[in-house]
Structure 1
Amino acid sequence: MRHSNSDNTKTQPATSLDDFAVSEEYSSAEPRRRRSRHARSSSAAYASNAGTVAARRGPLWQALGILAEILLTAAAICALYIVWQMWWTGVEAEQTQNETTKSVNWSDPAANGGDVKIAKAQEGEPPVQPENPKYGDLIAQVYIPRFGKQWHRNLVEGTTLEQINRHGLGHYQSSQMPGQIGNFALAGHRNGYGQPLGDVDKLQEGDPIIVRTQDYWYVYHYTRYEIVLPTDIWVIAPNPENSGVDPTKRMITMTTCEPKYSTPTHRWISYGELSYWAKVSDGVPKELSTTDSSGAVKFAISETPSVASRIGSLDKVVYMTLVAWAILFIAAAVAWRWPVMRAIRLGERRRPDASIYGTLLRLQPGVLPIRWLLLILLLFAAATALFQWTFPWAASNIPFLREMSNFVAVPE
């Protein structure tokens, strides 16, 4: 008997379009399910590690943290003010004095490689120079070897803060000129603004005080000092030793503040008398000369400007720093964007505590070293702006800071 193949062959189920659709949906959903499982496992792992990460501090502690940052910032500003007062004001004064000396046509004692001649002491009546200076004019340059071979200061007409803050020393307009019979009186800061008279307490009897005008040297010698009240205006009278008697001596008087490092309640007055005068064209006074190993006579004073005084105005430094910050900021934003902010937003990092400087750091784009560099540039620009604009304004307009600036002149 012949059997049909259809009886022995198992019937295969037909693949319908619905079955294909289900299969396709399963295959496309599988990666999503895997990703979902991975996200859940990542969240679970972060949650499991949350116990090992320091919990976010409470509002009170965060407020105390911000207060601490504010206090530290205030302390840093005070420290910067002291640096500005005691150092940078001197740099600015040196800059101004260098510009002033370049603007006048005075001969340089060390022009020939430092080789000089000893100027002969002259006899007779000392010449008066300048005869009729105007307010702010350069009168002379002053040298005091006791203060060091780097020490020399300009002397301008007038003793207002406008003059002695930037121009070195100021000449009392009511007093005599160099070499004249009477009292050649000048004022200068003892602390800050280059502290031109910061070492008056080191002067010893007989120390030379040399005044150089355009054409003449006037060599005085130190005699004594006294401490007086700011209202004791007789110290700049023609005869400070006896203000009711006509003068017979050719004196020099230097006034500065006392004490040195606090509010100047008194004035330190240094006196000297003329020893001789000489011509600039003849050389330099022996008190300003030295001899090298070969026997050549050299000018003993170094007039090379300091490195800091060559920086110039700080406004350019502020602008250049901000430009550098902006360029780096844009480059970091393009290259890395804000990875920390993104991690916080995605829950990969806990939300940080409130912090002024922490927020500033997080707002900078890029990786951690770049963010720190950007923050340092911002802080440097801010500190430089304080030096250039804020501190000078504060010293001129805030009363107790104005007193700390050590105004040293006595009333004329």
Structure 2
Amino acid sequence: MSVSTAGAATALRLLAELMLTLGALLAALAFYLLVWTNVQTSYAQAGHLEEFRAEQRDHPKGHKAKPKTGDGLNVLHIPRLGDDWEWVVVEGVALETLNDGPGHFPDTALPGKVGNYAVAGHRATHGEPFAQLDQLLEGDKVYVEAPDGWYTYEVTWSRIVAPTQLDVVAPVPGQPGRKPTAQTMTLVTCHPRWGSSERLVVGAQLVEQRSVAAGPPAELEV
């Protein structure tokens, strides 16, 4: 074998090894993003749900303490996204908080209160709670299970906005500075699903409130 041939063979072998290594790294990254992050979030959600049920038992009329970042606040149920679609909403929207589940924007209203109850969530990886948020239609119901009762919101609008359009989580969505008079909800996630160049935003209006004693809305009992 000539020197040039031997050199070419060595180069090809090194290239093949490099491609195998790159392939292994990409496979590991895909496993982390598509599998392991979901496992981590599922584990975190189980813990939050257990704590939420304990809070319901200990404070059946609602806990008055101001929530801390990472605390579980309430449970969202959206039948349009699946009969078993159930996610604990945590306080805060920092990335590490959203990795545990949908996050409540601090300083926005709590469920049932006048103002805008605003929640953000991942659309891909970490359990992807809002993966199919684009399937929500006007008139669909979003149920919030809180320590002090049940709140039913009805979807009234949805739109795609720029990431900089933060007024969608204002007390009156889209109208910063205006004093709220209604109880609304805003759900925010990335758009497109595997990108973040825009935001998908869904708005809803409170249409019913039920006490803990009254139990969940009929649609959730089926």
Fold-level similarity (TM above 0.5)? yes
Letter of the 1:202 counterpart:
Q
Q: Out of 202, 212, 216, which is 1:280 matched to? A: 212
Please give the alpha-carbon distance, in whole angstroms, between the structure 2 residues aligned to 1:136 and 1:212: 18
**Counterpart mapping for 1:187-266 below 5 A:** 187-262=120-195, 264-266=196-198
1:269 and 2:217 aligned: no
Deviations 1:323-373 (A, max 9, x none): xxxxxxxxxxxxxxxxxxxxxxxxxxxxxxxxxxxxxxxxxxxxxxxxxxx
Q: Larger % of helix: which? A: 1
8 Å contact kept, 2:62–2:147: no
1:174 and 2:122 aligned: no
Provide the residue aligned with 1:9 in structure 2: none
Please give the alpha-carbon distance, in whole angstroms, between the structure 1 residues aligned to 2:56 and 2:207: 23
Give 3-state SS (helix, strand or coil) of 1:246's partner: coil
Flag the 1:177–1:131 CA change in 2: closer, same or farther, 3 A: farther
Letter of the 2:79 counterpart:
P
Give 3-state SS (helix, strand or coil) of 1:280's partner: coil
**Counterpart mapping for 1:218-367 below 5 A:** 218-262=151-195, 264-290=196-222
Q: Out of 63, 66, 83, which is 2:14 matched to? A: 66
8 Å contact kept, 1:252–1:272: yes
Give the CA RMSD over aligned residues. 2.0
Q: 1:183 Cα deviation (Å)?
A: 0.3
TM-score by length of 2: 0.88
| 96-105 or 188-197: bigger deviation | 96-105
Q: Larger % of strand: which? A: 2
8 Å contact kept, 1:178–1:211: yes
Letter of the 1:153 counterpart:
W
Q: 1:156 Cα deviation (Å)?
A: 1.0
8 Å contact kept, 1:128–1:177: no
Provide the residue aligned with 1:136 in structure 2: 70
Q: 1:240 Cα deviation (Å)?
A: 1.0
Task: State which structure, 1 or 2, has the greater radius of gyration over its C-alpha atoms.
Answer: 1
Identity %: 35
Number of corresponding residues? 214
Deviations 1:254-306 (A, max 9, x none): 111111113x111111100101111233322112121xxxxxxxxxxxxxxxx
5+ unaligned residues in a row in structure 2: which ranges? Answer: none
Give 3-state SS (helix, strand or coil) of 2:213's partner: helix
Q: 1:63 Cα deviation (Å)?
A: 3.2
5+ unaligned residues in a row in structure 1: which ranges? Answer: 1-56, 109-126, 291-412
Q: 1:88 Cα deviation (Å)?
A: 2.0
Please give the alpha-carbon distance, in whole angstroms, between the structure 2 residues aligned to 1:148 and 1:130: 32
